[in-house]
């Protein structure tokens, strides 16, 4: 073989191995804290107490489904970046999921360092992760077999044609923050689109983050129901109940939410496109979620067009 060809092979090989040599940390979206004895209600109360004792503010909690409960917490270090970067609000909370399993109540929470990078937040949330580990435990991280490096997370998308962090659903624009919040509060009161409030977190002038429950209800579209969505993809032994609830961000009168094709994929990066427990089973869900959230806000027409089924599939695919 020509010497130039060998040089190219060696160069490509060195580039491939560079992340390994540099010791890049592989991150996973969830932390498994451990198994607790007792019923779900008792464990939820005890977990809430542990978090408060460790300095976390519990901003909300709810039962998304039978055998599941979620606590949502925040603390000052998570909120600080929002002052300069309003979309860092998505990382201002940590979700703690409690799930009934055969041997007790499984406790797991979202990894703040993983989402620090996925949401492009210029901060270090490692101390927050350490505080959660001290309060609840940290047996192992999970949710991705090989993990993702910070560099890959910062530019994460699931596949060609899929959305990035900066491709959200744009749900509406109002003349002021107050007008936007009033519209959302009214929509939540009426449960428009099957959407109800889990929490509201005011993060300073002009920035408010909501956590919302998505329920089809009545004649609603089951593809927009969070229980259906989680039931499809949460198939592993370690449960990702802490995927919920969905967030809606209000910033200076602009209302948005992470696109489901980004949000679910970054929480479930190893889920296959097709087959059992695949994204294909949720092919109508991105559009259904967008419709529900727009109904909440009172936006009758889509504010953008990138909210159809998964790329490469039509609405009629099975």
pLDDT digits (tens, 9 = 90+) for 199-257: 999 999 999 999 999 998 555 579 999 999 999 999 999 999 999 999 999 999 999 99
Structure tokens at 231: 């039931």
CATH domain 30-154 topology: TATA-Binding Protein (3.30.310)
Q: What φ, ψ does residue 195 adopt, rounded to 5°?
A: -105, 130
Express each pLDDT in 3-24 by its tens digit. 434 333 333 343 333 343 345 6
Express each pLDDT in 18-71 by its tens digit. 343 345 689 999 999 999 999 999 999 999 999 999 999 999 999 999 999 999
């Amino acid at each position: 073989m020509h010497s130039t060809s060998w040089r190219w092979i060696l160069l490509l090989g060195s580039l491939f191995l560079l992340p390994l040599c540099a010791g890049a940390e592989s991150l996973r979206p969830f932390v498994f804290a451990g198994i607790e004895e007792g019923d779900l209600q008792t464990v939820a109360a005890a977990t809430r107490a542990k978090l408060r004792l460790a300095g976390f503010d519990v901003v909300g909690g709810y039962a998304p489904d039978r055998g599941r409960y979620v606590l949502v917490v925040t603390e000052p270090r998570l909120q600080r970046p929002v002052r300069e970067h309003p979309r860092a609000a998505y990382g201002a909370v940590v979700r703690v999921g409690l799930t009934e399993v055969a041997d007790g109540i499984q406790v797991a929470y979202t990894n703040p360092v993983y989402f620090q990078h996925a949401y492009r937040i210029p901060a270090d949330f490692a101390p927050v992760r350490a505080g959660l580990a001290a309060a609840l435990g940290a047996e192992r991280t999970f949710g991705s077999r090989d993990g993702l490096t910070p560099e890959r997370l910062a530019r994460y998308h699931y596949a060609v044609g899929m959305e990035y962090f900066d491709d959200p659903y744009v749900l509406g624009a109002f003349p002021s923050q107050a007008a936007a919040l009033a519209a959302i509060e009214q929509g939540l009161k009426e449960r428009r689109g099957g959407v109800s409030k889990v929490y509201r977190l005011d993060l300073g002038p002009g920035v408010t983050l909501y956590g919302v429950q998505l329920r089809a209800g009545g004649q609603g579209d089951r593809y927009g129901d969070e229980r259906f969505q989680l039931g499809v993809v949460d198939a592993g032994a370690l449960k990702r109940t802490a995927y919920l609830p969905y967030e809606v961000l209000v910033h200076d009168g602009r209302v948005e939410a992470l696109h489901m094709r980004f949000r679910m994929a970054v929480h479930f990066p190893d889920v296959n496109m097709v087959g059992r427990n695949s994204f294909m089973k949720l092919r109508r869900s991105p559009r259904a979620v967008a419709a529900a959230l727009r109904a909440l806000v009172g936006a009758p027409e889509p504010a953008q067009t990138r909210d159809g089924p998964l790329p490469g599939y039509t609405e009629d695919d099975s």
